[in-house]
Every structure is written in structure tokens, then in C-alpha cells.
Structure 1
Amino acid sequence: MFSAVAHNKEELRKHGITHILNAAHNACGSKGNQAFYGKEFCYHGIAADDFPDFDLSIYFRSASEYIHKALSVPNGKILVHCILGKSRSATLVLAYLMMHHNLSLAAAVERVLQSRAIFPNRGFLKQLQDLELKLRHKRKLCQLQ
């Protein structure tokens, strides 16, 4: 569903999308790159596989920064997608909420579930749990200073 919208520039315009983050860049069934979107949309692609042993965590920071910058632009609106919009893209949005909004993993999941069903694979959930531990440790260190 979201992949189809991501490939339809008229639909993107109608929804006010200015930025696209494709977590399935170069995957079968997911077309798109900056040349495809032209100058009208900003595009960022991450070639991630939806397998539990794929290390998506190496993209948490760059994806979170891209989402944050997109939403910081006046009238900025971002579509984060993959193929089904339930695992790869959801994981990157959860990481963003944890990193930029200081939400726990549980709170981030609750927030996203208010808008749509998600189902990050077990490997991605483990990576998000590890991120939560790192962020919690970092916050404690900052409080001690």
C-alpha cells in the first residue's frame, strides 16, 4: 500500500510530502531514487533487508537525522516506507522517536500504533532494545554531570 503511494508523485503532492525515506532502497518492488523524484522531493534511500540478522541499527542515526531535518523544514512532511511499511520503516521511525523525542521503546511503539499497525521483525526489536539501553545509559551519564 505505502510502496504504491511512494511511487505516485501526484499522491505524494496531494498529501504534502516533501521528503521520502525508503528503507527498502534497491529492493525488488521498491523503485525510487533522487532522479526518480526529481527536484520536487528530497529522497534518502537505505538498502535494508527485512531479515532478523540484518543490522539496521547502523542506519538509526542517519535515518533519525534525516527524519528530524525533514520535519524541521517549514511545511516539511516525510513519508518513511519500505515494501509493506511494517518492519524496516517502522523500526527507523521507532528509533527516531527514541532518539529525538526521548521516548522509551514501549512508548514509541504505542505512539506509532495509534496511526498504523507495525510488526518489526525480532532482530530489529532486539536492536531497538539495545538502542534503548544505550540511550538510557547516556541520559544517566548526562544527569550525573
Structure 2
Amino acid sequence: MEYSHHETPPIKELEKLLYGGKRSGNHMDEVWPNLFLGDMCVANDRFILWKLGITHVLNAAHGKMHCQGGREFYGSAVEYYGVPADDSTAFNLSVYFQPCADYIQEVLNCLGGVSRSASLVLAYLMIHQYFSLLDAVKTIKQHRWIFPNRGFLKQLRALDATLCPVK
């Protein structure tokens, strides 16, 4: 079924779209000009970040196991913003949509993964680039495989409804 860019598809349709298509094996991809979405391997490697010219990191797994990120880890070369998100359907990631979208808008450089950080990048595209949720998903999926969990998808759908109310 086709949806217009002003309609928010049901979660099953979003999951179907997210499950299909390109599955990147890359640790990091540029998903928007100067906006990178990556995984823990890249976020935990200061040399790669320096080599790529990454100056700001938005970490959606702040304080989690295997996460080395933080101001102490990156030092003065990288500006750090941490979000202590759990990748669970019960976690309320929506409280971070606006502040993280604003942060990304300010710096336009970000690292993340496939669920938490991907959800925050989707929210950025919706809030600051005026994309519908469907268009934001399609745009990122052209460059990287993402799969926000169901709870985050519900929250992104609610954001989509507030940004693009059905007329």
C-alpha cells in the first residue's frame, strides 16, 4: 500500500519498510550531508573519529555496557552529548527527540546505530528538515539499514502526527 508523505503508516508497514532493502555492513554511513550514523565500534575509536573529522558525537547508549564514550574519553577534540537510552520498547525515547534534533541541527555531525540513534536522526529530519516519518525512513534507508524498536516507532508516529496532522 502506498502512503502520501502526510500519512503515517501503521507500525507493521513501517517495520516492513525497515526490514527490507539495503543492509549495510558498514560501521558508519553518511545519511544526510555531514550527518553520520554509526555503531559502537566507530564511537569507541577516537582515531577513526579524528581521521574522519568528526567533531561532535551524539551517543544514544550513554552510560551503557561497552560504551566508552564521554567527555573524559573523547577529550577536548570532540564535543559529546550522551543520551542514556535503553533499546527496549518500554523506554520513552520521545523526551529526547527535540533536544537531540536541536543538537544535531547545531552541529550536523552525529554517530549512532540502528535503533536509538537512528530514531533520534529520524526525529531530526522530521523536526528540522520537515520530513514526514515515512520520507525520513526512506531517506536514511537509501544509505543505511536501520531498525528502531516498536516503542520508538510508536513515539516517532506520535511525533509525525503532531508535525503533520491529517487534514
Question: What's the TM-score, normalizing by structure 1?
Answer: 0.85
Answer whether contact 1:20 1:41 (CA < 8 A) is retained.
yes
* Whole-angstrom CA distance in 1 between matches of 2:75 and 2:95: 27
* Whole-angstrom CA distance in 2 between matches of 1:9 and 1:126: 34
Q: 1:90 — aligned with what?
A: 118
Deviations 1:75-132 (A, max 9, x none): xxx2322xxx110010000000000000000000011101100000011001000000
Q: 2:33 — aligned with what?
A: none
Q: 2:127 — aligned with what?
A: 99
Q: CA deviation at 1:30?
A: 1.2
Q: 2:71 — aligned with what?
A: 34
Answer whether contact 1:50 1:87 (CA < 8 A) is retained.
yes
SS of the residue corresponding to residue 77 of structure 2 reads coil
Of residues 128, 133, 146 in structure 2, which corresponds to 1:118? 146
Letter in 2 for 1:33: G
Of residues 19, 41, 65 in structure 2, which corresponds to 1:4? 41
Structure 2 unpaired stretches of 5+: 1-26, 28-38
Relative contact order: is structure 1 or structure 2 higher (C-alpha 8 Å, sep ≥ 6)? Answer: 2
Letter in 2 for 1:22: N
Answer whether contact 2:104 2:110 (CA < 8 A) is retained.
no
Q: CA deviation at 1:9?
A: 1.1
* Whole-angstrom CA distance in 2 between matches of 1:90 and 1:46: 13
SS of the residue corresponding to residue 102 of structure 1 reads coil
Letter in 1 for 2:83: I
Which structure dedicates a bigger proportion of its chain to helix?
A: 1
Question: C-alpha root-mean-square deviation of aligned residues, in Å?
Answer: 1.4
Of residues 45, 53, 65 in structure 2, which corresponds to 1:16? 53
Q: CA deviation at 1:24?
A: 0.3
* Whole-angstrom CA distance in 2 between matches of 1:61 and 1:9: 27
Letter in 1 for 2:121: V
SS of the residue corresponding to residue 44 of structure 1 reads strand
Answer whether contact 1:80 1:93 (CA < 8 A) is retained.
no
SS of the residue corresponding to residue 110 of structure 2 reads strand
* Whole-angstrom CA distance in 1 between matches of 2:153 and 2:71: 30
Deviations 1:19-49 (A, max 9, x none): 0000000111111111111110000000000
Letter in 2 for 1:21: L
- Number of residue pairs matched? 130
What is the aligned-residue identity percentage? 49
Question: What's the TM-score, normalizing by structure 2?
Answer: 0.75
